[in-house]
Amino acid sequence: MSDLYVSWDEYHAKIEGLAAQIYRSQWEFDQILCLARGGLRIGDILSRIFDKPLAILSTSSYGGKNFQERGDLKIAHSITMTTDTLGKRILLVDDLVDSGVTLAQILEWLKQHPEFAITEVRSAVLWFKACSIAKPDYYIDFLSDNPWIHQPFEKYEKINPSDL
């Protein structure tokens, strides 16, 4: 597997490019639902650009050495949001679609919660890998060689408070 290293400047430029792509599509959405941890920074920035409320759903599927071992997807019991209800037209945001399992399972999870009354969900990521079983609606880079992506904040996974 190859490696792709991303700087903070590249990371932010990709988020801005994603925002432009969504804007050009002229799709109107009510709320952004980001998947934490990977989609948290992206969701925050898109929420500010589009002036839409942000909701957060915590998920986890990676662990082990350097957080590079994929395991079972864990989904939080509830969505954190400051609105009374989740919007009807949701922009689902994550950092990448790797295997596609998270995207597929979250879309199914949302369908299993009729209390949300969602009428449409579109997904947005920075990176879409060829090995994925699911295709996002919006993405910046299609990665045919399925590299491991080293994002700029990964250095914090190796720092302890005593190191600061």
Q: What is the DSSP string of 91-139?
A: EEE-SEESSSHHHHHHHHHHHT-GGG---EEEEEEEEEETT-SS--SEE
DSSP-derived letter for residue 146 is -
**CATH class (in words) of the domain with range 3-60+72-155:** alpha beta
CA distances from 101 to 56, 131, 150 (A): 18, 11, 20
Question: 55 vs 68, which has greater pLDDT?
Answer: 55
**For residue 5, how many C-alpha atoms fall within 13 Å in the half-sphere facing its CB?**
2
How many Å apart are CA 110 and CA 33, to the nearest integer?
11
Res 68 pLDDT > 60: no
Going by C-beta distance under 8 Å and a sequence separation of 6 or more, which residues neighbour residue 109?
A: 75
The pLDDT assigned to 27 comes to 98
Token duo for residue 89? 């037209």
CB count in 10 Å sphere of residue 70: 14
Name the residue type at position 135.
Answer: K
Q: Phi and psi of 121, rounded to 5°?
A: -130, 130
User: What pLDDT band is residue 71 in, cutting at 50, 70 and 90?
Assistant: low
Indicate whether this model's pTM tops 0.85: yes
Quick check: 66 pLDDT over 80? Answer: no
